[in-house]
């Protein structure tokens, strides 16, 4: 690693910023409407720089130089922080909320996520293990059952403990966390990002700036990355207690008219505790406004199901997940995006924990290389993106992103719930699982065409109608 001058930090105070709460989650729906009204995305590019970080970084007694500064403590930010610090990099993490457990992290994972997180299935970090996952219509009761022979093992993470685990690992290796630190913009010099500004006038400078600050990433916006196709799924979740007679071995996904373009989920933590949530994508402003608020849909489910009728809402949280696949470019000179900010999410079901862990581990490996060579040029940082795009997980994200765009286009001019009913009635669990995971091969598609021709024709004609009306 290159030798660097270290500067002392003068006394600095952090302004308390508003954190996510149950009252603030409702703003997601108004944000969605505003986004539908404005499709202009961030334009521009940072440009290429031939300078090394040492050439660019100026001595400033009011700032401190790090190898890596990371914005955000979701699964991508925390894994990047843990791995960077573990590789000996001087790492700073900035989080706008009061702690790492204040944000919503995905919960339903498979063995791969546990391997990446390096925890065992019987550890305290696993809240439950499922033997079946059921997809069901709230309107007709049509359903499909996917068991472990297709999915493998399915687990419910204890998200708070997992987030604290990654934080503690990073701290043990010398990383620094600053909370109530809201990133405003990147800092640039000679066409290269050299850090961030946060809160009012504080700055943090680093060789590599990582934007792991979610779907509305300030790092992404101010660094000039573009999102020409940016579909967002808005999520809302209750943690329920005092439930009755819940089968803890089965997780449920529901579709229905009240849900809209998305799904409602029920993940049991025990026979008396469940996580009940909903995620939906606004296909159009009019259709979004016609839907019941997500909170009301969850409360309706509680009232109409005996297991949750008298349950107590212990906590409420929410979040926003991209579902259009990888963005066109997520690296440039001195800067990289990771996690939701880069679109590194499985689009059909919104699964992002495994993909974020994977991206953070890979990014940290390249951050170490950059520090050792003191090279944060556009060409050097792009090596991370090039390797990432060549992975199987990235390919699955691209495939499911294309699928989600097709679903979104279809739903603009057709009834997606009717199509979902056809799928639940006609499709076998194995084929559905391959389509959702983005792993379907040519044989699967030939089977769809030959054995399920009426279903394919019904949905396909609707999609062609959508293309004819609004274009690709």
Question: Which tokens go with 32?
Answer: 């969605």
Predicted structure pTM score? 0.77
Average pLDDT over residues 361-387: 98
State the chain's maximal CA–CA distance in angstroms: 71
Residue 452 pLDDT grade (very low, low, confident, very high; cuts 50, 70, 90):
very low
pLDDT at res. 95? 96
Average pLDDT over residues 334-363: 88
Q: Residue 26 pLDDT > 70, yes or no? A: no
Residue 323 pLDDT grade (very low, low, confident, very high; cuts 50, 70, 90):
confident
Exposure string over 280-315, b if 16+ CB within 10 A, otherwise e: bbbbeeeebeebeebbebbbebbeeeebbeebebee
Helical packing angle, 453-470 and 416-426, nearest 10°: 160
Task: Count CB-CB contacts under 10 A for residue 244.
Answer: 12
Question: Higher-confidence residue: 133 or 464?
Answer: 133
Structural domains of the chain ordered from first start: 39-103+161-229+326-396 (3.50.50.60), 399-470 (no CATH)
- List residues bridging with 267 in a β-sheet: 275
Element (H, E) at 433: helix 429-437
Question: Higher-confidence residue: 300 or 456?
Answer: 300
* 21/464 Cα distance (integer angstroms): 42
- Weakest mean pLDDT among 44-48, 153-157, 435-439: 44-48
Helix residue ranges, H only, 95-197: 111-117, 148-151, 159-172
Q: Residue 61 pLDDT > 50, yes or no? A: no
pLDDT at res. 280? 86
Q: Residue 438 pLDDT > 70, yes or no? A: no
DSSP 3: -
Measured in whole angstroms, how far is the alpha carbon of residue 419 from the centre of its chain?
A: 26
Q: Residue 447 pLDDT > 80, yes or no? A: no
In this structure, are strands 132-137 and 143-147 parallel, antiparallel, or unpaired? antiparallel
**Residue from 288, 285, 374 nearest 89 by CA:** 374
Q: Residue 305 pLDDT > 90, yes or no? A: yes
Average pLDDT over residues 401-426: 59
Question: Higher-confidence residue: 231 or 153?
Answer: 153
pLDDT at res. 283? 64
Measured in whole angstroms, how far is the alpha carbon of residue 71 from the centre of its chain?
A: 14
pLDDT at res. 142? 79
pLDDT at res. 9? 32
pLDDT at res. 122? 94
Residue 141 pLDDT grade (very low, low, confident, very high; cuts 50, 70, 90):
confident
pLDDT at res. 320? 87
* 337/43 Cα distance (integer angstroms): 16
pLDDT at res. 221? 95
DSSP 20: P
* 141/130 Cα distance (integer angstroms): 21
Q: Residue 455 pLDDT > 50, yes or no? A: no
Percent pLDDT > 70 in the chain is 68
* 291/28 Cα distance (integer angstroms): 14
Question: Higher-confidence residue: 417 or 141?
Answer: 141
* 199/180 Cα distance (integer angstroms): 8
Q: Residue 51 pLDDT > 90, yes or no? A: no
* 91/129 Cα distance (integer angstroms): 34
């Amino acid at each position: 690693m290159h030798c660097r001058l270290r500067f002392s930090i003068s006394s600095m105070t952090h302004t308390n910023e508003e954190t996510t709460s149950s009252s603030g989650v409702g703003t997601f729906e108004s944000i969605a409407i505003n986004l539908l009204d404005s499709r202009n995305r961030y334009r521009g590019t940072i440009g290429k720089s031939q300078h090394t970080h040492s050439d660019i970084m100026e001595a400033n007694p009011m700032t401190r130089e790090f190898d890596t500064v990371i914005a955000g403590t979701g699964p991508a930010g925390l894994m990047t922080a843990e791995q960077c610090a573990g590789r000996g990099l001087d790492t700073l993490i900035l989080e706008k909320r009061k702690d790492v457990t204040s944000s919503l992290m995905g919960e339903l994972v498979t063995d791969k996520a546990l391997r990446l997180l390096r925890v065992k299935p019987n550890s305290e970090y696993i809240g439950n293990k499922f033997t079946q996952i059921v997809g069901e219509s709230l309107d007709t009761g049509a359903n499909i059952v996917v068991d472990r022979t297709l999915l493998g093992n399915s687990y419910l993470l204890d998200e708070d403990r997992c987030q604290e685990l990654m934080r503690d690992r990073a701290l043990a290796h010398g990383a620094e966390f600053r909370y109530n630190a809201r990133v405003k913009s990147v800092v640039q010099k000679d066409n290269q990002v050299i850090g961030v500004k946060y809160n009012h006038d504080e700055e943090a400078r680093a060789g590599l700036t990582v934007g792991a600050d979610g779907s509305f990433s300030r790092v992404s916006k101010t660094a000039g990355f573009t999102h020409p196709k940016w579909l967002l799924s808005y999520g809302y979740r209750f943690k329920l207690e005092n439930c009755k007679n819940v089968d803890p071995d089965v997780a449920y996904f529901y579709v229905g008219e009240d849900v809209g373009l998305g799904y409602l989920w029920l993940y049991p933590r025990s026979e008396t505790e469940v996580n009940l949530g909903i995620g939906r994508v606004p296909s159009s402003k009019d259709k979004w406004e016609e839907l019941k608020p997500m909170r009301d849909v969850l409360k309706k489910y509680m009232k109409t199901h005996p297991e949750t009728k008298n349950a107590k809402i212990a906590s409420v949280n929410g979040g926003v997940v991209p579902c259009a696949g990888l963005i066109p470019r997520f690296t440039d000179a001195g800067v990289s995006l990771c996690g939701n900010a880069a679109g590194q999410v499985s689009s059909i079901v919104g699964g992002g924990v495994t993909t974020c862990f994977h991206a953070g581990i890979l990014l940290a490996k390249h951050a170490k290389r950059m520090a050792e060579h003191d090279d944060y040029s556009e060409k050097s940082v792009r090596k991370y993106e090039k390797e990432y795009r060549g992975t199987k997980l990235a390919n699955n994200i691209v495939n499911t992103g294309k699928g989600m765009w097709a679903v979104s286009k279809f739903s603009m001019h057709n009834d997606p719930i009717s199509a979902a009913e056809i799928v639940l009635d006609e499709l076998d669990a194995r084929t559905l699982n391959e389509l959702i995971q983005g792993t379907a091969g040519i044989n699967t598609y030939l089977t769809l065409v030959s054995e399920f021709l009426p279903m394919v024709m019904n949905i396909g004609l609707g999609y062609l109608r959508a293309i004819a009306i609004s274009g690709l």
